[in-house]
């Protein structure tokens, strides 16, 4: 199998070093399997970054896939409320709730 990373690590080596089955690594690389919490923890330990990093990559991938698949259906969903940023700008009476809302959205 071809080298996967600039560090010269193969999928087999990654699987062996992290204790994951080689099929899991191969399926993830082919986009046929998701990165789970278990996999994210193993990869974070191996590469020296966070599990959240790996789960974030998976979430971004999932969102892109779903946006492509559901774009027309999603466009037909009506908005129930105004976006939060619009609501904060319309807040006429300064109060603790308005101040905290403005702080949270910048």
Where the chain has pLDDT below 50, the residues are 1-2, 106
DSSP 22-82: HHHHHHHHTTSS---HHHHHHHHHHHTS-HHHHHHHHHHHHHHHHHHHHHHHHHTSPPSS-
pLDDT at residue 93, rounded to an integer? 59
Supply the pLDDT for residue 103. 54
pLDDT confidence of residue 42: 98
pLDDT value at residue 46? 96
């Amino acid at each position: 199998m071809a080298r996967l990373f600039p560090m010269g690590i193969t999928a087999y080596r990654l699987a062996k070093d992290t204790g994951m089955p080689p099929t899991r690594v191969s399926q993830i690389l082919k986009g046929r399997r998701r990165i789970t919490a278990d996999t994210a923890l193993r990869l974070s330990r191996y590469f020296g970054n966070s599990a959240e990093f790996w789960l974030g990559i998976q979430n971004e991938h999932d969102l892109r896939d779903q946006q492509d698949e559901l774009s027309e259906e999603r466009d037909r969903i009506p908005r129930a409320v105004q976006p939060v940023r619009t609501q904060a700008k319309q807040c006429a009476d300064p109060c603790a709730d308005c101040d905290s809302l403005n702080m949270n959205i910048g």
